[in-house]
Amino acid sequence: MERQIVHLVIPAFPIALARATDNRLSGRPVAVAPGNSERSLLQCISSEAAAEGLFPGQPVYRARRICPALTVIPPDPLLLAKGTRLLFELSAEFSPLVEPSNGRVFLDMTGSRRLFGPARDVAGRLESRIVRRMGLTAMAGTAANKLVSRIAADAMPEPGVYDVFSGAEQSFMAPFPVSVIPGIGNEREALLLRDLNLRRVEDLAALSVAQLRLAVGPVAPLLHERARGIDRSPVQPPRISTEIMEESFLEQEENDDEILLAELLRLVEGCGFRLRRVGRETSRLNLTVCYADGVTEQGHKKLSAPQALDIPLFIAAEELFRSTCRRRVRVKALKLSCASAAEQHGQLDLFASAASSSRRDTALQDALDGLRSRYGSQSLRWGRSFAGVAGQLGDGSSLSSVSTDLSEYRYHTDTRRGG
């Protein structure tokens, strides 16, 4: 069966999302760069900035010299995550095979065209929905494979649909420069231009595999196929991961360790509850700290033994936080993931006292999980997750605390929910 692939791209996706929330950025040269340093590199630029001669990877100080009117904004992971999720949801209405990326999405319409029509019609309808729901304009390309559909979408000078007919892939790609072929890279491009004078895709397609192998080595068969518009790679939907992750974006940027640790404990509660619900334990914690200046730091910690209880996980997460978050800059987001999650395996304890303590901790945790399952995840929380709370909630509701045998931790129940 002949494949029909739709590729849709929103140029400069982070900037397009920022403009959708801030009209003052519209029509101006804008670039995304992390940190407050003038030596940080541009990650993404708008079309207006590109027209001024800017390009990604350029230092901020040099970009400002070339374009004094440039507006530099920091990366916004929360906005980017929301935009990516919404783009995926809109695309998934037309096909179960959706491969999202940063401002890009592939749809395999091979099995859905009898329901929704030809790929070019789906591309037009999806483009209209993105305008209505997200306020963003997009370019779309349709073809028999991912490679040609992506090149077609990138070739669009303005919003619309570029439909490449089946069988016309090689003639469509012929006039493009060799740099459009994935796998060429800067070094191979320089080699092809300097030594072989191969400037366009049609020049590359005219060579045999044996001739091309002399120049590029073992990747010659793959590049030769791509130069002729052949691409067998499938559309790959997001894979199900065994990693359990919780993420938090702070309402207000903070550098107070107690507040950040309280937020981290809430993430631990969420990860621990999900681990126990699926009967798994984790042996590795990964922490990502996103600062207000756009800088991101990551830390990893391997646990001495697999864990699934809140307190052991939080003790390990606190140690990881202390070793990872060292900058004197406000934090705007935290992400905690439990990797290497495996099924729980019970083991007999050598000493009776240790076994009794372990059973008591597990029984307490099971009781807490039972209450959370019945009355909601917010009905009962560890007291340390309420940073700055002194016995009262914001609306005056009372809090009751009960000491446990687990270190100095206490848990609080929300009496409004029957905890």
The owner of tokens 């991101």 is 296
119 within 8 A of 5, measured Cβ to Cβ: yes
What pLDDT, on a 0 to 100 scale, did the predictor assign at position 392?
32
Task: Report pLDDT for 101.
Answer: 85
pLDDT at 12: 92
Fold topology of 1-166: Alpha-Beta Plaits (3.30.70)
Segments of the chain assigned to CATH 3.30.1490.100: 244-382
Output the CATH code of domain 244-382. 3.30.1490.100
Which CB contacts under 8 angstroms, 24+ apart, belong to 95-101? 95/122, 96/237, 97/234, 97/235, 97/237, 98/235, 98/237, 99/235, 99/236, 99/237, 99/238, 100/238
Query: Could you report the average pLDDT of every consecutive run of 10 residues in the chain (419 residues)?
Result: 90 93 91 81 92 91 93 86 90 92 91 89 92 92 94 90 92 91 74 76 90 83 91 85 78 85 87 82 90 86 85 89 89 85 54 54 70 61 54 33 35 37
Interatomic CA distance for residues 134 and 151, integer angstroms: 24
CA distance 378 to 418: 11
Burial class (CB in 10 A: 0-12, 13-18, 19+), 203: middle
Contact 38, 22 (CB under 8 A): no
Q: What is the spatial distance between Cα 298 and Cα 313, in angstroms, rounded to a whole number?
A: 17
Radius of gyration of the chain (CA): 27
Beta-bridge mates of residue 177: 200
Rounded-to-integer distance, Cα 60 and Cα 207, Å: 42
The reported pLDDT for the residue numbered 147 is 94
Task: Tell me which residue of 410, 387, 413 sits closest to 400, measured CA to CA.
Answer: 413
- Summary count for the chain: helices (H), strands (E): 15, 16
Which of the four CATH numbers 1.10.1240.10, 1.10.150.20, 1.25.50.10, 3.40.50.970 does domain 171-227 have?
1.10.150.20
pLDDT of 326: 87
pLDDT at 384 (0 to 100): 60
Ranges in the chain annotated CATH 1.10.150.20: 171-227
Torsion of CA 223, 200, 149, 47, to 10 degrees: 120
Measured distance CA(77)–CA(231) in Å, rounded: 32
Q: Which burial class, exposed, middle or buried, applies to 145 when counting CB atoms under 10 A from its CB (0-12, 13-18, 19+)?
A: buried
Write down the pLDDT at residue 413: 39
Which residues of the chain does CATH 3.30.70.270 include?
1-166
